[in-house]
Structure 1
């Protein structure tokens, strides 16, 4: 690897970090949205006005037993749903994901500028300062306090495949 001590690696590390966070928060948002949909669907299906209550399945003895379990599960889901605060989690994850997408875009612009200029210029360092301020606000206000470590490890591997160290340009000189 060319000059692993060059200050340009701060940019590339931030780029990979932003990419990882975009992937992570998109995955988490998708999971929370699926969980919310499943609970909503379960509650809607078991509502007394639901067309499902009149299905032929419910006319059989085993169908009625099954329906009792589903209804009990829906009742529990209706009580637990507000405690899970899924709509708030969705909103928070959407905001965080949007912030990391913006950060990723900003850092990608720095990466492209370094490559096109052939140097890690003063303008690039200034752009990096602004990007790091964005990162600080995202890190200080996380969407979730507990992160899924296995998901992070899997996505980290993906990011390293997408953005291998060899793909980054390390200038020989600075401006």
Structure 2
């Protein structure tokens, strides 16, 4: 028996996470979640504070974008690049949901197009893609996320100023 075999899982090949995309699997997962929640005993739900609730965590987005755009020598490991790209993808999708249908200005329309193209490109990337391509995709996601976060902050400030005037 080799030394690696003594520790469970060390001889296993590392595989990237894959999320289900076919409708049958998603339907089965949703049904299992519904069954799980139906079987749980009733728990007391915490009360949310009254007032505006902002689901966008600007500090987390800013921290992730700063880490992704920081100049690093030597280049980071592939696992870190993939995990950071996954975080940025989630942040970008959240910001896109905030701006969905609100692309009146030409810069916002351009950003929407860039964001959707990058997200579509993320779907085709896997562990076999070259490292530098994954690194550049991560940086492009970070730049687009930063632009959307700036737009979100400007929008929040404009709404706050509008509410204070009333």
When the two structures are superposed, what TM-score results if normalisation uses the length of structure 2? 0.31
Higher helix share: 1
Larger relative CO (CA 8 A, sep 6+): 1 or 2? 1
- Looking at CA atoms only, which structure, 1 or 2, has the larger radius of gyration? 1
